[in-house]
């Protein structure tokens, strides 16, 4: 048999199997057959079917969006708009793409949904929260630091875009989060087109070490906080100074007391997926920075450090083979996914701190 005949035979068998399954489903859910089985049996069957469909939809919506090539996406947009990749184009367009991903990924924006299955999902909303924080931080840095010098007034479009991204992430009505974020994207897009205009006199993007360093300070704070929260999944004992009164009302002593910080088990997966979302967004923003701030990074000898940071952050996006986030002890029988993620984020944060120092050096 030839390969063509084998493929034809296999295709016919698959089609026959699908037809048989479809006929079987029609038979099971036919009103007459449901009536014969009784009300209780029919109710249980339909309920299980609905729950199964909801579960399948939730699995599809729970997928992390794929990575995108920040430079290729920006180049394609510039060609479609008849524009050139001026400094700041890739970075601004990446910010727009991150915000668009929040709204247009599989299932759309879920954080403010009040209907199933998204109302029962918490992993994806926490992932969205991590991405949204990076969108907010970078839009603020773009407005205050990268688009103007200290003596200049702020860009009008960026001044309107930034507040739009700070609407509550779970607002579902008046205003709906999606509507406000979409409005923010529109203002960012206006700024981008003015930036790339042939005779641009109104929009600018400052490619300087100081402008980049201010944003990196915010990134350091975010990653430090995430690393700390992830590490408390197994509990950490710390010494804390407490004020104790003595017999003499005029005197008071400070006494060191050992306290334990431990994340509630219900919050373990929330912080985990928030960290994954933050890292996913940062990877793209740092890739964009690598393009627009290339000369500055090479001059300050920070390019290699940036590449190491991106490599560590990409390690946070490895495939999850476990159906749930495990929270074992440090050297126990089961893994602790939070500690593993914390180690990658800590190393990435160390690299960003080094970048910040290199950019500050003369």
Per-residue pLDDT tens digits for 291-350: 999 999 999 999 999 999 999 999 999 998 888 888 887 677 788 899 999 999 999 999
Task: Report the candidate in 353, 343, 269, 285 with the shortest Cα–Cα distance to residue 131.
Answer: 285
Helix H, strand E, coil C: the string for 28-41 is HCCHHHHHHHCHHH
Report yes or no on whether pTM surpasses 0.75.
yes
Per-residue pLDDT tens digits for 147-179: 988 778 899 999 999 999 999 999 988 899 999
Q: What integer is the mean pLDDT of 256-283?
A: 85
In the prediction, which pLDDT does 247 show?
Answer: 53
Find out whether 276 and 318 touch, Cβ atoms under 8 Å.
no
Find out whether 233 and 338 touch, Cβ atoms under 8 Å.
yes
Distance of CA 172 to the CA centre of its chain: 20
- Residue 274 class from Cβ within 10 Å (0-12 exposed, 13-18 middle, 19+ buried)? buried
State yes or no: cis peptide before 117, omega within 30 of 0. yes
In the prediction, which pLDDT does 125 show?
Answer: 94
In 298-319, which positions are buried (b, 16+ CB within 10 angstroms) versus exposed (e)? Answer: eebebbebbebbbebbebbeee
Domain ranges in the chain are: 18-55, 69-203, 207-238+257-318+325-362
Instruction: Please report which helix (H) or strand (E) contains residue 261, including its range.
Output: strand 252-261
Residue 189 has pLDDT above 70, yes or no: yes
Residue 246 has pLDDT above 70, yes or no: no
pLDDT tier at 88, thresholds 50, 70, 90 = very high
| Interacting residues of 131 by C-beta distance below 8 A, sequence separation 6+ | 98, 101, 102, 277, 278, 280, 281
In the prediction, which pLDDT does 51 show?
Answer: 86
**At CA 125, angle to CA 122 and CA 130, rounded to 5?**
125
Task: Report the candidate in 159, 141, 305 with the shortest Cα–Cα distance to residue 214.
Answer: 141
Distance of CA 60 to the CA centre of its chain: 17
Q: Give the C-alpha distances (Å, rounded to integers) separating 157 from 31, 142, 185, 192, 267.
A: 58, 11, 10, 10, 37
Residues paired with residue 239 on neighbouring β-strands, in sequence order = 258
Q: Helix, strand, or coil here: 327?
A: strand
What average pLDDT does the structure give for the chain? Answer: 88
Per-residue pLDDT tens digits for 204-230: 999 989 989 999 999 999 999 999 999
Whole-number Å distance between alpha carbons of 297 and 291? 10
- Higher pLDDT: 277 or 236? It is 277
Whole-number Å distance between alpha carbons of 49 and 30? 14
Where on the phi/psi map is residue 262: left (φ > 0), alpha (ψ -120 to 50), or beta?
Answer: beta
Find out whether 213 and 297 touch, Cβ atoms under 8 Å.
no
């Amino acid at each position: 048999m030839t390969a063509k005949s084998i493929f034809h035979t296999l295709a016919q068998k698959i089609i026959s199997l699908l037809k048989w399954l479809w006929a079987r489903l029609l038979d099971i859910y036919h009103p007459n057959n449901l009536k014969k089985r009784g009300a209780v049996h029919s109710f249980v069957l339909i309920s299980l079917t609905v729950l199964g469909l909801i579960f399948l939809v939730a699995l599809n919506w729970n997928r992390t969006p794929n990575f995108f090539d920040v430079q290729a996406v920006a180049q394609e947009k510039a060609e479609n708009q008849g524009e050139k990749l001026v400094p700041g184009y890739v970075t601004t367009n990446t910010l727009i793409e991150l915000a668009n991903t929040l709204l247009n990924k599989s299932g759309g924006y879920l954080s403010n949904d009040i209907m199933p299955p998204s109302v029962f999902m918490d992993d994806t909303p926490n992932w969205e929260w991590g991405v949204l924080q990076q969108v907010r931080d970078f839009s603020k840095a773009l407005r205050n630091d990268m688009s103007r010098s200290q003596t200049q007034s702020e860009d009008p479009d960026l001044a309107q875009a930034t507040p739009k991204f700070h609407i509550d992430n779970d607002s579902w009505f008046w205003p709906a989060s999606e509507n406000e974020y979409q409005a923010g994207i529109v203002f960012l897009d206006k700024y981008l087109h003015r930036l790339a205009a042939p005779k641009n006199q109104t929009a600018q993007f400052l490619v300087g070490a100081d402008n980049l360093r201010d944003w990196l300070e915010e990134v350091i704070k975010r990653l430090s906080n995430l690393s700390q929260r992830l590490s408390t999944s197994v509990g950490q004992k710390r010494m804390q100074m407490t004020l104790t009164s003595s017999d003499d009302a005029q005197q008071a002593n400070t006494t060191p007391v050992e306290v334990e910080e431990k994340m509630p088990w219900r919050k373990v997966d929330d912080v985990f997926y928030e960290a994954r979302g933050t890292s996913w967004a940062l990877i793209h923003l740092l890739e964009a920075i690598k393009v627009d701030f290339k000369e500055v990074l090479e001059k300050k000898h920070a390019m290699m450090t940036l590449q190491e940071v991106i490599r560590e952050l990409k390690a946070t996006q490895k495939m999850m083979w476990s159906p749930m986030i495990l929270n074992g002890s440090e050297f126990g029988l089961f893994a602790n996914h939070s500690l593993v993620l914390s180690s990658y984020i800590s190393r990435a944060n160390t690299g960003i701190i080094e970048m910040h120092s290199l950019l500050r050096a003369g």
